[in-house]
Amino acid sequence: MPVAGEAALPVWAYDAQLPGPVMRFKRGEWVDVDLHNRLPEATTVHWHGIRLPNAMDGVPHLTQPPVASGERFHYRFRLPDAGTYWYHPHLGTAEQLERGLAGALVVDDDSPPPVDDDLVWLLDDWRLDAQGRIAEDFYRFHDVAHAGRLGQRITVNGRVDTELPLRVGQRVRLRLINAANARIFALQPEAGVDAWLIGRDGMPTPAALVWDAPLLLGPGMRADVVIDARQAGRFAIQQLGGREAGALATVVVSGSGQAAARAAPEPSGFEPPPAPDLASAAVHTLRLGGGARSRDGWPEDSEADRQARQQRRQAGAKEADPAWTINGVAHTGDHHAHHAPAFGVTQGQSVRLIFENPTAWWHPLHLHGHHMRVLARNGTPLADATAWRDTVLLSPGDRVEVAFVADNPGRWLIHCHVLEHHAGGMGTTFEVAG
Ligand SMILES: [Cu+2]
């Protein structure tokens, strides 16, 4: 099997590749994928960030039945937007993703900025046990109630010690995808290369931004960056977050002389999602709760719920105990359909969502089926509020306002992409009536 580190590591993989194969398309093309589940347990595939029909979104029980071991499911949908997306399971997610199931889906721009190469870097971390195998302590309550499952081994495309060979004067585009269960990467290139941020969560930024400060990438989030090699040498792309801080990868530039500084890459032309109308928008608040050091205590857990969970576990289900809530309700396990939606809107309605995070922890909140504009953080309007996201990172105490047009009918998930937080209850749904 593929390798994460110095020794071969048994993993679960799409098409026996780690990460899964890069699926590459043009905008407007159809994805046609036959999932044949040869895992020992049920799964689904979620196409993270793609504005697709609800029935293709891969959320078990909510948008499709789980695909049992040995069974098949056919995914077919059109790609409305260019950008960097990814696919991963949405059932038993904390374990299945950690075991290696994730891959990139790239939709090429109609008019991309000219580059010498265009590469995908899927970032992950792995918690290994003393024997160097994937530690089997999935859904450990300490992880669920704290920062999620962090691993001690950080990889790029399943490998350690990644090097990016370039020649002086070359320009390369990197599509960074955070596929870790819980790690928030804080990335910054060492001085000596010029770097730009040109896209987030698939959508281009309105203009290229100089990348010379830590770029925070929470689980599920993507960043498209451009690197200009200006002189020979070795330049780290540093990972500054957490105990495992160090070089994520090294840009190795060969050649001689010094290349002149290049102009910022032109932003890609794109058709943005429909702009929300703030004046007429329906306003809803989603307040996060729970977690270790919470002031409100643990979520309600009735004797009946505990017994039902116990029975599901005896039947083989792997499930976390409740630790988190949204608006007071914990959606544990993969059973979102059992709960009423947090709110409903009619198709085409603009929605202003206010996320409140009084918890002591960070949460990357992922909106399914739509892209949102992040308008303000703690009352301060965002400088790049015209940019689009499908995942927004909240630090402890944050209050973040977003807006989007609910133009995609169906029942959609909003959840924390720290997979252990989601398993422990931090998810909810909303309904767009078509
Ligand atoms: Cu979270």
- Determine the distance separating the centroid of ligand 1 and the alpha carbon of 425, expressed in angstroms: 9
Question: pTM for this one?
Answer: 0.96
CA 11 to the chain's CA centroid: 20
Is there a common fold for 20-258 and 282-433?
yes
Distance of CA 345 from the midpoint of ligand 1 (Å) = 25
Distance 318 CA to ligand 1 centre (A): 19
Whether residue 19 has a cis bond before it, omega within 30° of 0: yes
434 Cβ contact partners less than 8 Å away, ≥ 6 residues apart? 347, 409, 410
CA of 305 to the centre of ligand 1 (A): 22
> Residue 186: beta bridge partners?
216
Distance from Cα 417 to the centre of ligand 1, integer Å: 6
Tens digit of each residue's pLDDT (9 = 90 or more) over 11-69:
999 999 999 999 999 999 999 999 999 999 999 999 999 999 999 999 999 999 999 99
How many Å lie between the centroid of ligand 1 and the Cα of residue 172? Answer: 33
Closest residue by Cα to residue 98 from 139, 145, 66, 64 = 139
> CB–CB of 19/99 below 8 Å?
no
Written as one string, the DSSP assignment of 103-152 is: EEEEEE-SSPPP-SEEEEEEEEEE-B-TTSSBP--TT-HHHHHTT----S
Please state, in angstroms and rounded to a whole number, the distance separating the CA atoms of residues 57 and 64.
8
Could you say which of 2.60.40.420, 3.40.50.150, 2.120.10.30, 3.30.70.580 is the CATH number of the domain covering 20-258? 2.60.40.420
Neighbours of ion ligand 1 (CB under 5 A): 363, 416, 418, 421
CA angle at 220 for the pair 394 and 397, rounded to the nearest 5°? 10
Distance 423 CA to ligand 1 centre (A): 10
- 161-191 burial, b at 16+ Cβ within 10 Å, e below that, comes to ebebebebbbbbbbbbbbbbbbbbbbbbbee
Q: What is the pLDDT of residues 312-339, one digit of tens each?
A: 888 877 889 999 999 999 888 777 778 8
DSSP state of 242: S
Q: If you measure from the C-alpha of residue 320 to the centroid of ligand 1, how many angstroms do you get, rounded to a whole number?
A: 14
Centre of ligand 1 from the C-alpha of residue 328, in Å: 15
CA of 413 to the centre of ligand 1 (A): 14
| Whole-Å CA distances, 353 to 175, 290, 366, 376, 379 | 28, 20, 12, 11, 13
CA distance 42 to 65: 10
CA of 418 to the centre of ligand 1 (A): 5
Q: How far is the CA of 421 from the centre of ligand 1 (A)?
A: 5
24 Cα–ligand 1 center, Å: 30
How close is the Cα of 401 to the center of ligand 1, in Å?
17
Q: What is the pLDDT along the chain (434 residues), one digit of tens a residue?
A: 344 445 578 999 999 999 999 999 999 999 999 999 999 999 999 999 999 999 999 999 999 999 999 999 999 999 999 999 999 999 999 999 999 999 999 999 888 899 999 999 999 999 999 999 999 999 999 999 999 999 999 999 999 999 999 999 999 999 999 999 999 999 999 999 999 999 999 999 888 999 999 999 999 999 999 999 999 999 999 999 888 889 999 999 999 999 999 999 988 778 889 999 999 999 999 999 999 998 777 888 888 888 888 888 888 778 899 999 999 998 887 777 788 999 999 999 999 999 999 999 999 999 999 999 999 999 999 876 667 999 999 999 999 999 999 999 999 999 999 999 999 999 999 999 98
Pairwise CA distance, residues 362 & 285, whole Å: 18
**Ligand 1 centroid – CA 415 distance (Å):** 8
What is the 221 CA–ligand 1 centroid distance (Å)?
13
Give me the torsion for CA of 142, 95, 119, 30, rounded to 10°: -130
Domain boundaries, the chain: 20-258, 282-433
| Ligand 1 centroid – CA 275 distance (Å) | 27
| List of residues 6+ apart from 90 with CB closer than 8 A | 44, 45, 46, 58, 59, 60, 334
Compute the distance from residue 16 Cα to the ligand 1 centre, in Å: 30
**With contact defined as beta carbons under 8 Å apart, do 370 and 408 qualify?**
yes
Backbone φ, ψ for residue 113 (5° rounding):
-60, 135
DSSP 100: T
Q: Given the structure tokens 């293709």, which residue do they identify?
A: 56
425: left (phi over 0), alpha (psi -120 to 50) or beta: left
Count of CB atoms situated within 10 Å of the CB of 282 = 14
CA of 419 to the centre of ligand 1 (A): 8
CB 45 within 8 A of CB 89: yes
User: How far away, in angstroms, is 284 Cα from ligand 1 center?
Assistant: 19
CA of 273 to the centre of ligand 1 (A): 26
Q: How far is the CA of 83 from the centre of ligand 1 (A)?
A: 25
How far apart are the C-alpha atoms of 335 and 317, rounded to whole Å?
A: 12
Rounded to 5 degrees, φ, ψ at 307 are -65, -40
CA of 229 to the centre of ligand 1 (A): 37
282-433 falls under which CATH superfamily?
A: Cupredoxins -  blue copper proteins (2.60.40.420)
Distance 278 CA to ligand 1 centre (A): 27
Q: What are phi and psi of 312, to 5 degrees?
A: -65, -40
Q: How far away, in angstroms, is 13 Cα from ligand 1 center?
A: 25
From residue 1, alpha-carbon distances to 13, 16, 134, 147 in Å are 9, 7, 13, 30
Phi and psi, residue 61, nearest 5°: 70, -30
